[in-house]
Amino acid sequence: MNRNFKETCMSTALRLRGFNFFYFSLFALFLSFLPVYCSSIGMSGAQIGMLLGAGSVISIVSQPLWGMVSDKYRTIKTVLLLILAASVLVGTGMYRSHQVWTLSLMVGLMYLLYLPTDPLVESLNFQTSQRIRVSYGSLRMFGALGYAVTSLSAGLFVQSWGMGSLSWVFLTFGVLSLLLCLGLTDVEASSKPARLKHLGAFFLQSHTLTFFVLVLLVAIPHKMNDSFIGLYMAQLGGSVTYTGLCWFVMTITETVFFALSSKLIKPGKETLLMSIAAGLYALRFLLCAFVRTPSELVGLQVFQGCTFVFFYAASIQYLYSIVPEQWKSTGQTVLTVVFFGVSGIIGSGFGGWLIELLGGSALYKVMACLSAVSFAYSFILLKRTGQVANKVT
């Protein structure tokens, strides 16, 4: 029995790692290259910021919606397959759009369909890791690896074959993701009924609100970096290949730190690590503000592991320790909405205006200041977590 269980766990982990690799490759194609593609068809920095901000508004509605559908029908895999298949078709069309209005429509559909897949995948990763007794980081690191490889290879591909080649790369990785998703095992549903009163009580608790405010404060400058590092690189004289190198360095560093996360993030110490990560974000963005060459900006992306991975992995682990069991997918969705959605509205809109008006250096100085504020605020959560029960029931 133990041997069969071990073999089943190894097979499940292998399939999920393969899926993570190709799924997050799609994320690299969407997040890393969309601003550069928008710029190539003549959109300004402010227009790109408005487009990404509008997309974030859509995702704020769509992500909780799909998360609640998943919890209500007690399936992650079926919902994931449905919206991922639609996203592959839309994403392929998006990178074949050459007019602002058609591109904007496709981007809006991606935020409606594709962005909600992220919290579902993260929920699948975390809950599966608990069921088969492996670390979350050992699964998620393959997603970071896929992101890294695709960021570099797609950048080189675009340099050789042009922006239009992105559509074929997206379609290829999308089909591979879908095929691997078909072989995944769905997570077991909670036996407890999914009642809204339990969810409402959870979100009204003071430590829950403090946690999500901290996530938002950290995520705003993080999203600014995601959205505008390509444009900042162009201002420094770097090509799209350098942008790909930035993402490659970031995600290779993520791979290493996700692999180490189970050893570094101990139960009960999550909020301390979140605080450290917030402080390191401030240092990272301050150094980025004073770079003078594309190579310097690429080199500073090694901070991604000790900022994003520390903060995000610790946030997920802390969230799952306090969220009601029957609302795990919804809790993960809300975390994703705050980290990538609400922050995107603020960060993309304000960041696009700032980089066009004052330039990339000024943008990164503002990001450093915002990260310093989040570091100071993190001490409030550190103080309150000492009074929190182990789990909300």
Q: What percent of the chain has pLDDT over 90?
A: 32
Residue 241 has pLDDT above 60, yes or no: yes
3-state SS, residue 391: coil
What gap in Å lies between CA 165 and CA 250, rounded to an integer? Answer: 23
What gap in Å lies between CA 40 and CA 60, rounded to an integer? Answer: 28
* Residues constituting the chain: 393
Two tokens, residue 42: 């003549």
Query: Could you tell me which residues come within 8 angstroms of residue 225 by beta carbon, excluding any fewer than 6 positions away?
Result: 285, 288, 364, 367
In this prediction, residues 96-110 reach a mean pLDDT of 90
Instruction: Decide: pTM greater than 0.85.
Output: no
- Give me the residue spans of the domains in the chain: 2-387
Residue 226 has pLDDT above 50, yes or no: yes
* Amino acid code (one letter) for 284: R
Q: CA angle, 325 as apex, 321 and 331 as ends, to 5°?
A: 70
Q: What percent of the chain has pLDDT over 70?
A: 91
- pLDDT for 188: 64
Residue 390 has pLDDT above 50, yes or no: no
- pLDDT for 388: 45
Q: Which residue has the higher pLDDT, 195 or 346?
A: 346
- pLDDT for 198: 56
**Beta carbons of 261 and 306 less than 8 angstroms apart:** no
pLDDT tens figures, 126-138: 888 888 888 888 8
Alpha helices in 28-44 (DSSP H): 34-40
Q: Which CATH number fits domain 2-387: 1.20.1250.20, 1.10.286.10, 2.40.110.10, 1.10.1200.10?
A: 1.20.1250.20
Residue 246 has pLDDT above 90, yes or no: no
**Beta carbons of 167 and 46 less than 8 angstroms apart:** no
- pLDDT for 105: 92
Residue 195 has pLDDT above 70, yes or no: no
Residue 238 has pLDDT above 80, yes or no: yes
- pLDDT for 201: 63
Average pLDDT over the chain, rounded to an integer:
84
- pLDDT for 180: 93
